[in-house]
């Protein structure tokens, strides 16, 4: 039997995660959102400027299937496509609307067969980067750098009834907003600053790819032009 520890930052103690009480509009759809990193859980517990709790669980991984979007076999475009399926984007330009449909069709991953999903957490800065890319305002190379350098953390999401049956509450510890809310804000601010610094170093978009290029060339996930940029 293989067990891992998962942490859930919240403004309340959650002894029994409820499979039926889930929000469809989260990053990866309906699920229970956790992390394996204590510091991240503490920051997320106070993200609304209130005191919170870190709920700690033991996760029995026996027989569970995990989709790991950061394992090197998936790309940032797979992440964006899943995000586009579930989160609400303010897209009005025709190119952005077309891009949303195309990315979902060509780059999305069927998550129905999985019990857990691990991938980037779309905090404000990450969400804005994704939105800018879909609007053709941000090239793929810059988007990829932003996500790598942002250090906003990975999350693990329980998405099946089987996964919910195999998570067990251990304990909960209080978190003081006076410390961790400031850390939450500082991490997001640093991600934005780091991104701007990297963009300032870029003198040209030569050989880069915008979402319009993906649409025009009808690129797919295994396109060597996409792989070349993402592997830099």
**Contact assessment for residue 22 and residue 30, using Cβ atoms and an 8 Å cutoff:** yes
- Measured CA to CA in angstroms, residue 199 lies from 109, 141, 169, 191, 205 at distances of 29, 10, 43, 12, 10
Q: Whole-angstrom Cα distance, residue 215 to residue 28?
A: 24
pLDDT tens, N- to C-terminus, the chain (232 residues): 589 999 999 999 999 998 876 667 788 888 999 999 999 999 999 999 999 999 999 999 999 999 999 888 888 999 999 999 888 888 888 999 999 999 999 999 999 899 999 998 877 777 888 888 999 988 998 888 877 776 767 899 999 999 999 999 999 999 999 999 999 988 888 877 877 776 666 656 677 899 999 999 999 988 999 988 887 7
What ranges do the domains of the chain cover?
A: 3-230
Q: Across-strand partners of 165?
A: none
Q: 170-194 burial, b for 16+ CB within 10 Å, e for fewer?
A: eebeebebeebbeebeebbeebeeb
**Contact assessment for residue 35 and residue 153, using Cβ atoms and an 8 Å cutoff:** yes
Burial degree of 8 (CB within 10 A; 0-12, 13-18, 19+): buried
């Amino acid at each position: 039997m293989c067990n891992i520890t998962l942490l859930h930052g919240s403004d309340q103690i959650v002894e029994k995660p409820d499979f039926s009480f889930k929000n469809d509009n989260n990053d990866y759809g309906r699920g229970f959102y956790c992390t394996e990193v204590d510091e991240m859980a503490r920051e997320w517990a106070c993200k609304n400027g209130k005191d919170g709790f870190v709920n700690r669980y033991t996760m029995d991984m026996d027989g569970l299937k995990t989709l790991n979007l950061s394992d090197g076999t998936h790309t940032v475009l797979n992440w964006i496509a899943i995000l586009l399926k579930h989160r609400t984007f303010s897209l009005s330009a025709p190119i952005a609307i077309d891009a949303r449909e195309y990315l979902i069709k060509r780059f999305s991953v069927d998550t129905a067969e999985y019990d857990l999903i691990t991938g980037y957490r779309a905090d404000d800065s990450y969400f804005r980067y994704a939105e800018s890319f879909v609007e053709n305002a941000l090239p793929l190379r810059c988007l990829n750098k932003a996500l790598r350098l942002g250090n906003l953390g990975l999350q693990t999401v329980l998405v099946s009834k089987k996964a919910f049956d195999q998570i067990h509450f251990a304990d909960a510890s209080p978190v003081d907003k006076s410390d961790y809310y400031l850390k939450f804000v500082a991490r997001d601010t640093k991600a934005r600053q780091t991104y701007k610094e990297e963009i300032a170093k870029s003198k040209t978009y030569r050989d880069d790819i915008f979402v319009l290029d993906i649409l025009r060339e009808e690129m797919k996930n295994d396109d060597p032009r996409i792989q070349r940029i993402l592997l830099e």
